[in-house]
Structures are given as C-alpha cells and as structure tokens.
Structure 1
Amino acid sequence: MTADLIAFRANAQLNTPFRFRGRTPGVALDCVGLVLTALGPIAETTVDCPSYSLRGDFRSVILSCFGKLPFLLLHEGETGCDGDIILAAAGPSQLHLMVAANSGWVHAHAGLGRVVFTPIWPGWPIIHRWRFIGD
C-alpha cells in the first residue's frame, strides 16, 4: 500500500451514493466507509469502527482507530500530500473524514448524496491530518 494507492482508491469511488454508515464500495459509502475503502487491506483487519452519529465529538474514537494503523499524525502547518487522511470540522459538532487527492479532497458528501472531489476549501478547519508510513 502506498499513499498514491490510497488516493487512487478514494478517487475510484467518485459518484458512489452517500449512505449513513455505508460500507460497500461502489454501492453506498459515508465518510468513514470511504476512508476504509481507500485504505483497503490495511484497514480490513485492523479497524473496528464503533457506532457514531452524524453530530458529536468523536475525535478520541478516530484517534484510537488511526493509532492501530501505520499512520503518522502530522503537526499543524505541515504540507499535505495525496493519500493523507484528513479530519475536518464541516460544521458545529460535525466531524468529517476525507482523503487528500489531486490537490483537493475526496469525501462522501451527505448534502450532494454522493462521493465527490472538492478543491481544498479553507472554510473547513482541519483538526487532524494523518500520513501513511507503511510500505
């Protein structure tokens, strides 16, 4: 697995319908399902996704999940690259996971009802950014 492959796998899901707790690539995904799909085999045996709702602060749960994976938590101000996993604040009490790809973000957009590509938009504060460090 490489960072480029993570970005490629995320891009392959563009236009997949959005569904809350969706975990089926090409059929229905939410933001967690998209990230799990992008991570592929490294997530399949390691990540146990706990229950969550659309609103709330799930940072500790997300940090715990990534703590089990070969990812480095980047510091604020570090330059991003394709394949990074991003946790952003999409709104008040609304956390959102995305995959960096093609100088933008691939994410499951509930309002548009599908997985989309978005140019980087400064309106969503980035809370955490992880970079794959495996081989």
Structure 2
Amino acid sequence: MSAAIVARARACIGARFRPQGRNIAEGLDCVGLAAIACDVPAPARDYALRGGDGDRIAAGLAAAGLIPVPWPEALPGDVLLVEAGPAQAHLLVLTDVGFVHADAGLRRVVETPGRPPWPVLGAWRGT
C-alpha cells in the first residue's frame, strides 16, 4: 500500500497549487493531494485556509480509513499532519527521500528532500 501511495503522490508533482483544489488538472491543495495519494474521496471544501482544526483533520483522516501511527514509526506512504505556521495545519505524504506536499509558496506540488521542517501533529497510514 505505501508504495502505491507514494507513487500516486509523486504523480501529482508539478500540479499547480490551488486552495481547496481537488484534481491535478485544475490544481491541488494539501487535502486534495492527500486524498489522491490515499485513493480516498476528498472532503467538502468547507474548511478555512488558516486556523485549521487539528482534531477535525484527524477525524477526517480516520473517516477516510487511515489509521494513526506514532510519528517516530512513520514510513514512506504515511500522511503527516504538521503545523506549517501559527494555527496553519498542513498535510504531506512521506517518501523514501523526503515528502510530497502542495507548496503554497512555490505554487505547485513538490517533493522536498529530508524531514519536514514543521512540528508534526500526527501520522496516519492507509489500510
């Protein structure tokens, strides 16, 4: 499962960043990217871009069938919830060399080498 999640996340690399975007052709945000990577339906677009509620996001990941795992035990293909800024939740997909995420600053989906630079709030694994 993890190899497939990484492959689907990498297939999104280069897609433009679009707030609340849900498909590669029109653009993706971190939620859209995670949904494609995990092959689950993306949730409704009824969330704020700032002031994300970590508990609500965690509940959404669980509802999508992902199971929580301890962050130190996270593996490629796992989805991380990080705090990218004050009250700014962000999802990313771990890979064997770093992580894939929808980078608002670069305005596209990218794979960044290394460990995420943000505090990790939780990790989830596809089933």
TM-score normalised by structure 2 residue count: 0.90
Secondary structure of the residue aligned to 2:8 is helix
Indicate yes or no: 2:105 matched with 1:107: no
Alignment partners' CA distance in 2, 1:101 and 1:22: 22
Indicate yes or no: 2:62 matched with 1:67: yes
Alignment partners' CA distance in 2, 1:86 and 1:124: 10
Do 1:49 and 1:65's aligned partners in 2 also have CA atoms closer than 8 Å?
no
Secondary structure of the residue aligned to 2:72 is coil
Identify the residue that residue 23 of structure 1 maps to in structure 2. 22
Identify the residue that residue 12 of structure 1 maps to in structure 2. 11
Q: What 5-or-longer segments of structure 2 have no aligned partner?
A: none
TM-score normalised by structure 1 residue count: 0.85
Secondary structure of the residue aligned to 2:125 is strand
* Displacement after TM superposition at 1:121 (Å): 3.7
Alignment partners' CA distance in 2, 1:50 and 1:85: 19
Deviates more, 1:13-22 or 1:94-103: 94-103
* Displacement after TM superposition at 1:76 (Å): 4.1
Counterparts in 2 of 1:75 and 1:20: CA distance versus 1, 3 Å: same
Q: Which structure has the greater CA radius of gyration?
A: 1
Query: Among residues 86, 89, 105, which one is paired with 1:92 in the alignment?
Result: 86
* Displacement after TM superposition at 1:50 (Å): 5.1
1:76-131 CA-to-partner distances (Å, cap 9, x unmatched) read: 432x2111001011111111100111321100000100000112345311111011
1:47-70 CA-to-partner distances (Å, cap 9, x unmatched) read: 533511221131121111122233
Secondary structure of the residue aligned to 2:123 is strand
Do 1:7 and 1:82's aligned partners in 2 also have CA atoms closer than 8 Å?
yes
Runs of 4+ in 1 over 4 A off after TM superposition: none
Alignment partners' CA distance in 2, 1:26 and 1:50: 17
Indicate yes or no: 2:109 matched with 1:129: no
